[in-house]
Amino acid sequence: MKADNQILEKATRRALCGKGAHAETPTVFSEMNWKLAGTRPAGAPHSLFQLLNHMIYWQDWAVKWLDGEQPPIPKHAPGSWPGGAEPASAEEWKQTVARFENGLDRLERQAGEGDLLSKRGSKSRLEMLQTIAGHNSHHAGQAVLLRQMLGAWPPPSGGLTW
């Protein structure tokens, strides 16, 4: 049974980061000009900064849930899109990216803590981690598309291109 848990843990960690499936999730926000991060290309519903804050909102929510808390769910979808369209400064952008990466690290640690199959209500820890991994994956793809529209993909250090 221990080997099964290790397999689940490894698969969950990989899903959280997008490893092997697409550009790794933290990479999609790396090396991005802070002013471009607040730009919304024509026809796009959100800026990169808005996507990033939305992803942070749900990562933080999931960490609280995994820690045994009962975080409230917003009454309406806009409640999970905090902040404005653009960062006020390069420092705010940098801090927001760091907050996202720290939340992702906390989720990866959660994958190795406790019984992944234990339930809280109707969901197991594994289901919650897979839900947030899917959410991040969805929005990471949107972020890459926005960066392509802004002429800022791949990042200077490279991306998933061959």
Q: How does pLDDT run across 47-76, given as a tens digit for each residue? A: 999 999 999 999 999 999 999 999 999 999
Q: How far apart are the first and last CA of the chain?
A: 39
- Enter the pTM of the model: 0.91
User: Residue 19 is encoded by which pair of tokens?
Assistant: 């490893």
Contact 135, 61 (CB under 8 A): no
Q: Which CATH architecture has domain 2-149?
A: Up-down Bundle (1.20)
**Number of continuous H segments (helices) and E segments (strands) in the chain:** 5, 2
For residue 44 the two structure tokens come to 């796009």
Assign 161 a pLDDT band (cuts: 50, 70, 90).
Answer: low
